[in-house]
Amino acid sequence: MLKFIFRRASLVIPTFLGVTLLTFALVRLVPGDPLEMMAGERGLTPERHAELMAQYGYDRPLLEQYGLYLYELAGGDFGRSVVTKKPVLQEFFERFPATVELALCAMIFAVVIGLPMGILAAVRRGTVLDYAVMGTAVTGFSMPIFWWALLLVLFFSVNLGWTPVSGRLSAVYWVEARTGFMLIDSLLSNEKGAFGSAVSHLILPSVALGTIPLAIIARMTRSSMLEVLNEDYVRTARAKGLSPFRVVTVHALRNALIPVVTVVGLATGILLAGAILTETIFSWPGIGKWLIEAVRRRDYPTVQGGVLLVATIIMLVNLLVDLLYGVINPRIRHASERT
Amino acid sequence: MTDRTLDTAPTKPPHPLQDIWRDFRRNRGAMVGLALILIVTFLAVFADVVAPYGPAEQFRDAFLSPPSWLAGGDPRFLLGTDDVGRDILSRLIYGARLSLLIGVVVVTLALAAGVTLGLCAGFFGGLVDIVVMRLMDIMLALPALLLAIVIVAILGPGLMNAMVAVTVVVVPHYARLTRGAVLSELGRDYVTASRVAGAGPLRLMFATVLPNCLAPLIVQATLGFSGAILDAAALGFLGLGAQPPTPEWGSMLANALQFIQRAWWVVTFPGLAILVTVLAFNLMGDGLRDALDPKLKR
């Protein structure tokens, strides 16, 4: 087991180094001089320019610059924003909880709706219900989520006035940021109604962000269930006279869930990419909105550090999913040990 | 007697394409997808004839005019006008050109690059394989949209750069798929026979092996159309793709948020166009997969 963990974990290192190469190249590939952007409209005298080039190490050979970059990363230095002058790492972790909160709620929405949809479609295969579920799934999968989010706002916020249009909390409340998770912070604060406000702000972004994972989960559950329902042990369970509900939920679902769990884990990337669009529309103060603003302001150190951090988190989550998968399914573990 | 034997004589087996078409036609969703794609293609090709107005033509007497069937609607503008008085229907029809163009360019370039990389990795193995596939893994470590945004951040916003970005992002999928298919074909007898007969590596790669790897690539390319249109629209929406006067569906939505209270039609129709087109390609891709995959054949 330890061997399996080490083998899988060691695969992450070259990928991580590769991503650092990519983010390192990012700043150097931008046309023009990295200093010009920092200097702004006033420009620089040639002497000051040379001084700054030396200060940031841009005058050294590329390989040395890359070595320095890795050295700084190892020390936890992800650079400084050109706009706010704050360390990128600090800015990232200020916003990260907001994105995690949104992504978790979106995932819960996707699983709670998608899983039963997939099961129903598999059990009632070939019926109207099956077609309806699969039609919904393929539509959800094709959905441009930025438009879907706009439609949700149009219907639920503008027409019905049920939910707020944007933000995380109504402006009448003030909640101290203790954990960074608004749902927890609002409960801890003494403000009455703050929790309700936080929940109502979360609903539409979660639905918008969760739609594509929902479609994927529904499809995956259906095909996985269909496969399992033909297995001998399911037939045995039926033959024993167990109730159809018990056969489906206990005997079939447990085995069908293995691939679904992987899909749920691997959806992190989808959620973080979707967060860029969702957060932009709902003015959600998370890392997606932060990154896109950095791109628009041409704040390259922030883009560089932010992309690296996002990629690292995705890699770590994928690693965790793989390891968990190995724990759930011994066949994977042993297969990788043999090769 | 002779007549009888003639009757029962085995008929010629159907051409493989006929076989695929028969399977494909059974899938109702796929046929709907195909029909929608044909309609969108028709509109795109004949946009000059079909569209009532030009995509940039402004009507200064009709800003944010609602769709014609609503109260206050102008019969001249079926789907209403936007904030500077341009006919939304016309812009959507011209936008179909761009979306299909994006799909064609992205899929063609990505196929060319991905297939070449995958063939090389599969054929030469060893160091080439490791370098190429590691590179692809690194690109897959980032979410597609994020990587595309990074590339646009380097190249600068614009429709061309957005297409380049979306292409680069999808190359790994084609490379992986091709490599996998190549590896499973390489051990087959026909490849060995061809090699023994003296075929050179290029001939082996492109003429002998590649045609036998096409089925998954065709499916991926069809689904790739929808991905390309969706990603390019997302970039347009974020202001990083096609720039404002261009009637690209995503960028038409870019400043729609500010009209959401007053003019729902500005928000609704461009997105509907994206959804329908993407859905059509996804339906057709699913149908093709079922028709081309021998494992699923009844």
pLDDT in tens, A204-259: 999 999 999 999 999 888 988 888 888 888 888 888 888 888 888 878 888 788 77
Cα of A144 to nearest chain B Cα, Å:
6
Give the mean pLDDT of A257-279. Answer: 81
Q: Is B154 in contact with A26 (Cβ distance < 8 A)?
A: yes
Give the mean pLDDT of B61-78. Answer: 76
Give the mean pLDDT of A121-145. Answer: 89
Asked if B33 has any chain A CB less than 8 Å from its own CB, the reply is no
Give the mean pLDDT of B93-108. Answer: 91
Q: pLDDT band for B278, please (50, 70, 90 cuts).
A: very high
Looking at per-residue pLDDT, the higher value among B298 and A46 belongs to: A46
Distance of CA B3 to the CA centre of its chain: 52
Q: pLDDT band for A26, please (50, 70, 90 cuts).
A: confident
Helix (H, G, I), strand (E, B) or coil at A205: helix
Looking at per-residue pLDDT, the higher value among A215 and B67 belongs to: A215
Q: pLDDT band for B6, please (50, 70, 90 cuts).
A: low
Give the mean pLDDT of B171-176. Answer: 91
The answer to whether the beta carbons of residues A80 and A38 sit under 8 Å apart is no
Q: What is the pLDDT of residue B275?
A: 93
Give the mean pLDDT of B1-24. Answer: 68
| Mutant choice from A19, A131, A136, A150 vs B, greatest count of B C-beta within 10 A | A150
Looking at per-residue pLDDT, the higher value among B210 and A266 belongs to: B210
Looking at per-residue pLDDT, the higher value among B150 and A331 belongs to: B150
* A181-195, B26-40, B257-271: which is most confident: B26-40
CA distance linking residue B19 with residue B253, whole number of Å: 42
Asked if A30 has any chain B CB less than 8 Å from its own CB, the reply is yes
Q: Is the pLDDT of residue B202 over 80?
A: yes
Chain B residues with CB inside 8 Å of A26's CB? 150, 153-154
**Which residue on chain A is closest to B240 by alpha carbon?**
A296
pTM more than 0.90? no
**Which residue on chain A is closest to B233 by alpha carbon?**
A144
Q: Is B268 in contact with A154 (Cβ distance < 8 A)?
A: yes
Mean pLDDT, chain B, integer: 84
Q: Is the pLDDT of residue B68 over 60?
A: yes
Q: pLDDT band for A68, please (50, 70, 90 cuts).
A: confident
Chain B residues with CB inside 8 Å of A128's CB? none
Q: Is the pLDDT of residue B107 over 80?
A: yes
> Residue A106: CB partners within 8 Å, gap ≥ 6?
A205, A206, A207, A208, A209, A210, A213, A271, A274
DSSP string for chain B: -HHHHHHHSPPPPPPHHHHHHHHHHH-HHHHHHHHHHHHHHHHHHTHHHHSSS-TT-B-TT-TTPPPTTSTT--TT-TT-B-TT-BBHHHHHHHHHHHHHHHHHHHHHHHHHHHHHHHHHHHHH-HHHHHHHHHHHHHHHHS-HHHHHHHHHHHH-SSHHHHHHHHHHHHHHHHHHHHHHHHHHHHTSHHHHHHHHTT--HHIIIIIIIGGGGHHHHHHHHHHHHHHHHHHHHHHHHTTSSS-TTS--HHHHTTTGGGGTTT-HHHHHHHHHHHHHHHHHHHHHHHHHHHHH-GGG--
Chain A residues with CB inside 8 Å of B275's CB? 139, 142-144, 147
CA distance linking residue B106 with residue B112, whole number of Å: 10
Q: Is the pLDDT of residue A36 over 70?
A: no
The answer to whether the beta carbons of residues B146 and B169 sit under 8 Å apart is no
Q: Is the pLDDT of residue A113 over 90?
A: yes
**Which residue on chain B is closest to A279 by alpha carbon?**
B238
A-B contacts (CB, under 8 Å): 125
Q: Is the pLDDT of residue B184 over 80?
A: yes
**Which residue on chain A is closest to B275 by alpha carbon?**
A143
Of A19, A143, A270, the CB nearest to B141: A19
Q: Which amino acid is at B262?
A: R
Of B141, B230, B260, the CB nearest to A153: B260
CA distance linking residue B34 with residue B25, whole number of Å: 10
* A6-20, A174-188, A282-296, B50-64: which is most confident: A282-296
Q: pLDDT band for B1, please (50, 70, 90 cuts).
A: very low
| Mutant choice from B237, B265, B282 vs A, greatest count of A C-beta within 10 A | B237
CA distance linking residue B141 with residue B147, whole number of Å: 9
Q: Which of A61-70, A252-261, B59-68 has the lowest mean pLDDT?
A: B59-68
Asked if B141 has any chain A CB less than 8 Å from its own CB, the reply is yes
The distance between the two most distant Cα atoms of chain A, rounded to a whole number of Å, is 88
Cβ atoms within 10 Å of A130's Cβ, excluding its own: 16
Q: Is B271 in contact with A150 (Cβ distance < 8 A)?
A: yes
Asked if A39 has any chain B CB less than 8 Å from its own CB, the reply is no
Asked if A207 has any chain B CB less than 8 Å from its own CB, the reply is no
> Which among B265, B123, B105 has a CA at the least distance from the CA of B191?
B123
Q: Is the pLDDT of residue B203 over 70?
A: yes
Q: Is A303 in contact with B145 (Cβ distance < 8 A)?
A: no
Of A143, A146, A291, the CB nearest to B253: A146
Asked if B233 has any chain A CB less than 8 Å from its own CB, the reply is yes
Looking at per-residue pLDDT, the higher value among A192 and B30 belongs to: B30
Q: Is B142 in contact with A310 (Cβ distance < 8 A)?
A: yes
Cα of B151 to nearest chain A Cα, Å:
8
Asked if A319 has any chain B CB less than 8 Å from its own CB, the reply is no
Q: What is the pLDDT of residue B262?
A: 80
Asked if B296 has any chain A CB less than 8 Å from its own CB, the reply is no
Q: pLDDT band for B201, please (50, 70, 90 cuts).
A: confident
Asked if B234 has any chain A CB less than 8 Å from its own CB, the reply is yes
Of A158, A272, A303, the CB nearest to B260: A158
Q: What is the pLDDT of residue B163?
A: 92
Asked if B255 has any chain A CB less than 8 Å from its own CB, the reply is no
Q: Is A295 in contact with B149 (Cβ distance < 8 A)?
A: yes
Of A139, A146, A295, the CB nearest to B237: A146
Of A142, A154, A280, the CB nearest to B267: A154
Q: Is the pLDDT of residue B298 over 70?
A: no
Q: Is B268 in contact with A146 (Cβ distance < 8 A)?
A: no
Interface subset of A 138-167, CB within 8 angstroms of B: 138-139, 141-144, 146-148, 150-151, 153-154, 158
Distance of CA A328 to the CA centre of its chain: 23
Cβ atoms within 10 Å of A252's Cβ, excluding its own: 26
Q: Is the pLDDT of residue A8 over 60?
A: yes
Q: Is the pLDDT of residue A336 over 60?
A: no
Q: Is the pLDDT of residue B4 over 70?
A: no
Q: What is the pLDDT of residue A33?
A: 64
